[in-house]
Structure 1
Amino acid sequence: MSALSSTRRLLTQTAGILFSVVLLAACNDSNNLNTPPVPESPPVAEGPGNIVEVAVEAGDFSTLVAALEATGLDQTLADEAETFTVFAPTDAAFEALGQETIDALLADTETLSDILLYHVIAGQAVNADTALSLTGTTVEMANGDIVALTIQSDALFINGSQVIVTDVEASNGIIHAIDAVLTPPGDAEPTGNIVEVAVAAGDFTTLVAAVQAAGLDTTLADPDGSFTVFAPTDAAFAMLGDDAIAALLADIDALTDILLYHVISGAAVDSITATSLFGEMVEMANGDSVTIDIRDGALFINDSQVVIADVPATNGVIHAIDMVLTRPADEVGTIVDVAVANGSFTTLVAALQATGLDATLADETATFTVFAPTDDAFALLGEETINTLLADTETLSDILLYHVIAEQAVPAETALTLNGSDVEMANGDTITITVTDGNLFINDSQVVIADVQASNGIIHAINAVLTPPM
């Protein structure tokens, strides 16, 4: 074969290959024109559901969800056009009510709705930081009542319920889990003014007698006034003893001062508002101040617990307390200051001064418990014996120190637990503590007034002078 023929054959084969490639490319272009590529879908961001959906998904709010469904409030809280903050009781919180109470609520949807709406702030999503900034105030809830926001032991509380989980996001708001179901305040109608309500209650006979003796009954019955009264019950006054009550009723100035120390004038402060003032000082009608405290969920005024709250009156509100209010220790002075100011311990004060023990019991760096004989207790010794003792300061010092426990302040509550025990006194001898019919005795001397606070200890008034053993 000639070289020319071989060259022609190679060119022909090459042309065929090129034609095939061009044809294949053309086909591919034709396919691309007829079937455009499908673009990839962008990732869809998944957000939280609404309040109800989040509660259902969480699994810890089954009773709450059932209650919402029973009242129809599940539809309200699922509304994506609205915004809510829900303080949501856990299943454990509802269980604390008891199944009988839960069943009764589920059957009474009107009451249940009021309770549920008391857990909701409508119109805004309040996160934990915002809630913390509102502590010390009250906030209106969806049912129209208020709650108190406080910080206790570094935890956020709504009334007496602790927030245990915060900031659970929902598409239409936010959920905070709480450990107890909130109870809306009662709506009882007042039956009379402060004095009339106290009289009708039947548990404040001593208070009413004291108010009448001081002439304050007219003030507290004023229809144009507004008062908050922390009212000691008869049992609270009984803790003072008959002698102390009689002494107060005979000293109108002192009685008036004490009674006004139980009154806030110009405002009806309900227990929720009082709770919001946790840790603060509140001025009373006599010009002195009390401290608002919360202990184990209970409201305290100084060291007195509110045992019945929010008794309404036409001109204010009454809160029953379990102890007569006394000023905080740092406001009343030392053991000696308190004894002098009281007026019922003039002989004791004279004896302390005669022996120089007044300086000892005025020591702010020390702590004492003094079982203090009243003037009536010393009077039982007779004037001649008292004068003899005042002239024999060594014997008198021994007797006085026999009335003192050094280095500790022993409240009556603790002393009652020592029934039958012997306790060493500051002179080295021992006394015997006994309890008879609920009354505290030191040897044969009865404590007639307990727990008088001082800045450096505590005083218990007794009705007989203690005699050291021979």
Structure 2
Amino acid sequence: MRYTALLPLAAAATAFVIPDEAAAKELFIETEQKAEETLSSWWDRVPSVEDLRAYAEETFDDAYDAFDRQASKLTSNLPAIEIESEWSDFVSPSDYEKPGHGGHGHHGHHRAENLTVYEVIHATNFTKKFAALVDEYPEIVKTLNSTDANVTAFVPTDKAFEKIPDHHKKPPKEVIERILEYHVVPGYYPAGRVLAHHTLPTLLKEEELGDRSQRLRVSIGIFGARLNFYSKVVGVNMFTKNGVIHCVDSIVVTPPPADRLLSLFPSRFSTLLLAGEKTGLHRKEDDVTKGLTIFAPTNWAFQKLGPGANAFLFNTEKGLKYLKALLKYHCVVNETLYSDEYYGKPREGDEVDAENAQYHVDLPTLLEGKHLSIDIARFYGLITMKINGYTKVSIQDAVAKDGVVQVLDSVLIPPHERRGFWKEEDGEIEVDELIERLQPFVEPEWVGEL
């Protein structure tokens, strides 16, 4: 059986193009390093930007519509999942053993257990271009050829490289090296184990994550699996001497910073982006963090606060101070919480174990003294994240260069010492109540009468 992404959020911005014939015409990812600007020209096959954004918006809508409809079906089918292999003519018959002759793996899948991952990508008929790039980087060659530890490689087919115009300048070696590292996962992840995760650690160590592994996002649906919402897995479970290979139809490029990622979807996050600009809370170039978690309310989430609250927050000088406090409650720095991994320091009361069915963590926000209580429950590849006991993350794990974005359909408001948490089912929040809840976190000179 094949699978398609339930939550097809394009992890992209606007500097260079990622071809994906199955899911979209082309998607953009913006990078901020000068070296990566060179890469943008190498990938430059620019269709209409409006067409791309229209597609992104359409897929975002589909994510909400499809999630509830498909989740129950997927839950009932997960224990019996089998993934169809599309490795016809992957290597010549003499290079691999037929199923049932020992080693890792399952019946029905190809094997090349007398070869390493490195040797297999050279032997295959349609990963020659990826193999040629790997040859330029001795450390990656060593990793893929070593039998000291298992690795899992997500290998783009040669067709993925055909989307790159030949006449464009090749990007700097350090940029290509990062991209290659981003396709390799330490450890042994056959298809079944991949599908049980939302994110996977890669060889790429990201300075802005505290030198931790940059992660790949795995999306699962009824027609396929995708990496980072756009690169479709088209072949699985080529078992080798030192690991396993899966094949993808698009090159997976390292993700952009969180703010660039959000800027691709103005019809969804323009209110949040405007709030960051108005309050000065948006990320600055000289900011130094070791990871972050952004709980990003959509435009619809802000709209549900009501016109009065929005007018106060965005259109009054006093309201901007309250807006800044509100935004701080959605930001966690130096700690990155994915749905199945936590980059941070566990505190007393935390129960952090991504392999367990349930776990809990309290995250300190930028709002002084206020934490977010996060409960995560998982069943195979289905994971739910709930904040402060009731607010669900609607789109999980939009991986970013500097952390992760968790998308919300509700604005988080700090609890009141007597009233507790505000819930959207109570209706639009009154300005007086909003002020009362945020007043302890606003500078004294801004506290007073409207």
Q: Identify whether the pair has TM-score above 0.5, normalized to the shorter chain.
A: no
TM range (shorter): 0.3 to 0.5
Greater relative contact order structure (CA < 8 Å, 6+ sep) = 2
Structure with the higher fraction of residues in helix conformation: 1
User: Could you say which structure has the larger radius of gyration?
Assistant: 1
TM-score, normalised to structure 1, is 0.39
TM-score, normalised to structure 2, is 0.41
